[in-house]
């Protein structure tokens, strides 16, 4: 394991550190980290490394893999008769978007994003923070923050970097970014997902409720991101992450990030082969499965006002939750989409149901940080689990949504939180435990 910190002048590789903890998340705009290191107040390099309020950039590596690049946010010093360690914590470079609002004071920044695509809107709001943007695996904007990987050293010796490059005004960056992205055409067809909601093939269930066909979403993330949004005006003092997440959720796009601190708009690809298979009885590995029925509903009913006419019949979609088959527990949600005449209720119902399904989860705790192939365990991987002790009587695929890595001089522990694949690829869910019971 290796820790590097960049103070925007030099990069220092720290060798004496301990109690590393990383929380790597998939459905989030940032991951978090913490660690401790030895601090000598009389050492010049240690003083420069431990500046308060400088938001230095940290990189944590393991087996030549970058695990996380992010800002040092907190630092705590301690003193006693015995030398104490300094405690440090922070998050991914992209985490700043969760703490900050749209910077309307910047020349060229606006809240009116009418007829822009989500790619253009995200580019506009990410640029002032130096955060890169990736859409479905393609880099749209490069990060322009100084990073530790630019000046890597092999020991505690430090090397100065050239700081004489001119700085481009932020307003110029914003305007150039928007103008250099092709303007997406306004679609003439609302898309296959919305069209599926109007299908006459819905069937009434035993409660007399017409269940909306699930439909097939054939549009790629890139196609959705490049589609003009008719109305997308942000609110004054609106949080950037919340605003982008809201726009992405309308089209069932996942707002995530990568180890480099880029913001990533994507959809989980859960049809990959499993990165590992976990069975009971493996030394150093334990598992648990939990189901929270109180947070589940039998029906998700999404409604939306069709147009500005008060007497207009609202749009409506209803989806059935296969994990609540015997009791009636309906949930009604209102879609707060702009009134544009397009039915968004099916996407909203899918989004809500798939989020509910995260209340069925498996947690795996193991005494290593790596998969069998030697790669570090990360979110956005699929694993196969078979363990009748936790009610999994046959092999089942689960999607890794969160990984907590903890390590010190004695051991390394990984806590892996897994959810149903449907939670992240928005495929129609099926009951995992079919055939186990007599009823």
Q: Is residue 114 part of a domain?
A: no
Q: What pLDDT digit, counting tens, does each position of 74-113 carry?
A: 999 988 888 888 999 999 999 999 999 998 888 778 888 8
Q: Are the beta carbons of 34 and 41 closer than 8 angstroms?
A: no
What is the per-residue pLDDT for 232? 77
* Side-chain-side CA neighbours of residue 234 (13 Å): 26
Give the chain's domain count: 1
Backbone angles phi, psi at 366, to 5 degrees: -135, 160
Q: Are the beta carbons of 421 and 399 closer than 8 angstroms?
A: yes
Q: What pLDDT digit, counting tens, does each position of 105-151 carry?
A: 887 788 888 888 999 999 999 999 999 999 988 888 777 654 443 33
What is the per-residue pLDDT for 150? 37
Q: Is residue 352 part of a domain?
A: yes
Comparing 328 with 188, the larger pLDDT belongs to 328
What is the per-residue pLDDT for 10? 84
Please state whether the predicted TM-score (pTM) of the whole model is above 0.95: no
C-alpha distances in angstroms, 328 versus 323, 324, 354, 359?
Answer: 12, 8, 18, 18
Q: Is residue 201 part of a domain?
A: no
Q: Is residue 422 part of a domain?
A: yes
What is the per-residue pLDDT for 115? 84
Comparing 412 with 199, the larger pLDDT belongs to 412
pLDDT average, residue stretch 214-226? 87
- 221 pLDDT above the threshold of 60: yes
Q: Is residue 91 part of a domain?
A: no
How far apart CA 37 and CA 164 sit, in angstroms, is 31
Closest Cα to residue 196, out of 307, 355, 345? Answer: 345
Q: What pLDDT digit, counting tens, does each position of 376-389 carry?
A: 999 999 999 999 99
Q: Is residue 307 part of a domain?
A: yes
What is the end-to-end Cα distance of the chain in Å, rounded? 51
Q: Is residue 278 part of a domain?
A: yes
Band of the pLDDT at 312, cuts 50, 70, 90? low
What is the per-residue pLDDT for 265? 95
Q: What pLDDT digit, counting tens, does each position of 166-183 carry?
A: 333 333 433 443 334 333
- 271 pLDDT above the threshold of 90: no
Q: Are the beta carbons of 91 and 33 closer than 8 angstroms?
A: yes
Strand partners, 70: 58, 92
Q: What pLDDT digit, counting tens, does each position of 328-374 carry?
A: 999 999 987 655 667 889 999 999 999 999 999 999 999 999 999 99
- 284 pLDDT above the threshold of 70: yes
- 260 pLDDT above the threshold of 90: yes
**Helix/strand/coil for 75:** strand
pLDDT average, residue stretch 17-36? 94
Give the DSSP letter string of 98-124: HH-B--TTSTT--S--TT-BHHHHHHH
**Positive/negative CA dihedral, 301, 302, 307, 309:** positive
Band of the pLDDT at 310, cuts 50, 70, 90? low
Percent of the chain at pLDDT above 90?
Answer: 53
Residues of the domain holding 378: 271-430
**Average pLDDT of every residue of the chain:** 83
- Rg (C-alpha) for the chain, rounded Å, is 24
């Amino acid at each position: 394991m290796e820790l590097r910190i960049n103070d925007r002048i030099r990069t220092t590789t720290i060798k004496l550190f301990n109690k590393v903890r990383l929380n790597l998340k998939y459905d989030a705009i940032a991951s978090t980290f913490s660690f401790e290191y030895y601090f000598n107040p009389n050492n010049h390099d240690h003083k420069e490394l431990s500046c308060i309020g400088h938001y230095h950039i940290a990189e944590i590596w393991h087996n030549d893999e970058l695990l996380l690049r992010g800002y040092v946010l907190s630092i705590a010093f301690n003193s006693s008769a015995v030398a104490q360690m300094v405690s440090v914590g922070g998050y991914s470079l992209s985490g700043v978007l969760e703490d900050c609002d749209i910077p309307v004071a910047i020349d060229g920044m606006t809240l009116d994003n009418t007829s822009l695509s989500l790619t253009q809107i995200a580019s506009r709001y990410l640029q002032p923070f130096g955060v890169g943007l990736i859409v479905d695996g393609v880099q749209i904007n490069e990060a322009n923050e100084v990073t530790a990987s630019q000046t890597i050293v092999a020991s505690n010796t430090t090397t100065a970097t050239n700081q004489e490059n001119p700085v481009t005004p932020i307003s110029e960056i914003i305007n150039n970014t928007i103008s250099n992205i092709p303007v997406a055409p306004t679609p003439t067809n609302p898309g296959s997902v919305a069209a599926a909601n109007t299908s006459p093939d819905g069937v009434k269930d035993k409660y007399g409720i017409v269940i909306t066909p699930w439909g097939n979403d054939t549009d790629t993330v890139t196609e959705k991101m490049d589609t003009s949004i008719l109305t997308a005006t942000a609110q004054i003092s609106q949080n950037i992450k919340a605003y982008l997440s809201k726009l992405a959720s309308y089209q069932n796009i996942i707002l995530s990030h990568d180890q480099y601190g880029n913001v990533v708009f994507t959809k989980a690809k859960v049809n990959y082969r499993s990165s590992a298979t976990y069975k009971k009885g493996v030394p150093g590995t334990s598992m648990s499965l939990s189901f929270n029925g109180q947070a589940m509903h039998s029906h998700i009913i999404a409604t939306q006002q069709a147009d500005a006419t008060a007497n207009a019949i609202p749009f409506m979609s209803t989806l059935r939750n296969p994990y609540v088959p015997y009791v009636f527990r309906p949930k009604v949600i209102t879609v707060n989409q702009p009134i544009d005449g397009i039915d968004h209720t099916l996407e909203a119902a899918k989004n809500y149901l798939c989020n509910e399904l995260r209340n069925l989860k498996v947690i795996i705790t193991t005494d290593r940080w790596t998969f069998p192939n030697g790669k570090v365990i990360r979110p956005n991987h699929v694993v196969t689990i078979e363990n009748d002790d936790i009610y999994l009587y046959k092999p089942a695929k689960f999607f890794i949504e969160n990984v907590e890595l903890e390590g010190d001089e004695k051991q390394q522990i990984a806590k892996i939180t897994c959810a149903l694949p449907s939670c992240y690829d928005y495929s129609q869910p099926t009951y995992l435990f079919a055939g186990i019971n007599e009823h």
